[in-house]
Amino acid sequence: MFGHLTAMPSDPILGLLTSYRNDNNPNKVDLGVGVYKDELGHTAVLNCVKKAELHRNNTEDSKVYIGPTGSPLFNTEMTKLIFGAEHKVLLENRTRTISTPGGTCALRVAADFIQTCKTGATIWVSNPTWANHTGLFEGAGLQVKVYPYYDYENKTLDFDGMLNALKAVSRDDVVLLHACCHNPSGMDLTNEQWQQVVEVTKDVGFTPLIDMAYQGFGAGLNEDAYGLRLMADAVQEMIVCSSCSKNFGLYRERIGACTVIAQTSSAADISLSVLLHGVRIIYSMPPAHGAAIVETILSSDELRNEWYDELKIMRDRINGNRQVLVDKLIENGVTRDFSFIARQSGMFSFLGITPEQVQQLQDEFSVYMVGSSRMSIAGIAQSNVDYLAKAIAKVL
């Protein structure tokens, strides 16, 4: 049975990680993997998480399944975090949230839900988008198409192209939108642009699927949810996939959520039953530990406030790294305009150099980034930014 198989191509980011680990250059810089790192290059456990875990260890009295929906408290607290406690979709009881093994599985559950609603439905994703989106959706049987988003030449948002494409989308289609911290471009919609996208969504009638993997990493928890909440105000049906990997630093715990908004409370109940049917087939029951940590933090005034403070430290460091890199490039005589990096948000940005220059950075300077020149801003630190800027200047 296995004899005819051929090896699949390795994931380029995971391949970069292996090359980086095997590199003996003491000045090596890892800008490939999209994981938050502190100034020492370490992804530490948040203090609020340690306290929540201690509480969990002291109070947990069973390892029995928690059920396919996951923890009710986690689902409630996540819904409030996503929409705000007083949003009308909560007051109207039109939302249903389930916990999932990470944001990736939330997207797969959403894809299966869409496939049940309409076999072979078309879902539109931005150009570019997170590399795994296409595989997730196609694996569920959906047809994937792209709409313009990032203008590579001018290092900005191709908003006119995006809006015109969305106006031509079929009413029966689904459109994936990034809530904030667009992966991989770092280029987000402004509030005014979100308002226009919401109007087009209402006029055309397609179903929005909003991926929010980085809430709190852009401008703030509420600011980053602006477009999502505006959309939920305006449409009858919507899907949201969220992740706790980044903003809680719970990467290996694999905890996320999938939320469906329906036209009525009874329709939401039916949607939930369809979601859970898919869950039963894919993974049956979600893990409990990560959800317990998050719900403990969000339901405690003390721990929640400590989380706000720690999240702000991460957010400010990433945003600060953007400006520092721009300044250091200027100091090293680079005349090309890289100011766009400071205007973006979140973990990622395209440096905008050629694949050959990306390879040269790796070969000659041990600076690792994806071939598209997508770089993880969190990999920049005070200890390496001078070396990084000099390397980029020499390559240019």
Report the C-alpha gap between 110 and 123 in whole angstroms: 11
Q: What is the pLDDT of residue 355?
A: 96
DSSP, collapsed to helix, strand or coil, labels residue 350 as: strand
Q: What is the pLDDT of residue 18?
A: 87
Q: What is the rounded average pLDDT of the residues 215-238?
A: 98
* Rounded-to-integer distance, Cα 36 and Cα 34, Å: 7
Q: Please enumerate in sequence order all residues whose Cβ is within 8 A of that of 267, keeping only pairs 6 or more positions apart, or say none.
A: 94
Q: pLDDT band at 124, cuts 50/70/90?
A: very high
CA distance 392 to 311: 30
Quick one: average pLDDT of 326-342?
A: 97
Query: What rounded mean pLDDT belongs to the chain?
Result: 97
Pairing of strands 256-261, 95-100: antiparallel
As its CATH architecture, domain 12-44+311-395 has: Alpha-Beta Complex (3.90)
Mean pLDDT of 366-390: 96
pTM for the model stands at: 0.96
Contacts of 230 (CB under 8 A, 6+ apart): 194, 195, 198
pLDDT at 8: 86
- The answer on pLDDT for 10 being more than 80 is no
CATH 3.90.1150.10 region(s) of the chain? 12-44+311-395
* Cβ atoms < 10 Å from Cβ of 172: 12
Catalytic center residues: 130, 211, 246
Tokens representing 194 are: 């979100």
User: Helices marked H in the chain — which ranges?
Assistant: 12-22, 47-59, 72-83, 88-91, 102-117, 131-139, 159-167, 191-204, 221-224, 226-234, 265-282, 289-298, 301-331, 340-343, 355-365, 385-395
CA distance 329 to 94: 50
pLDDT of residue 282: 95
CATH class of segment(s) 65-299: alpha beta
CA angle 205, 201, 126 (to 5 degrees): 115
| Residue that has been written with the tokens 């990096």 in this structure | 341
pLDDT(81) > 90: yes
Q: What is the location of CATH 3.40.640.10 in the chain?
A: 65-299
pLDDT tens-digit map of 91-121: 999 999 999 999 999 999 999 999 999 999 9
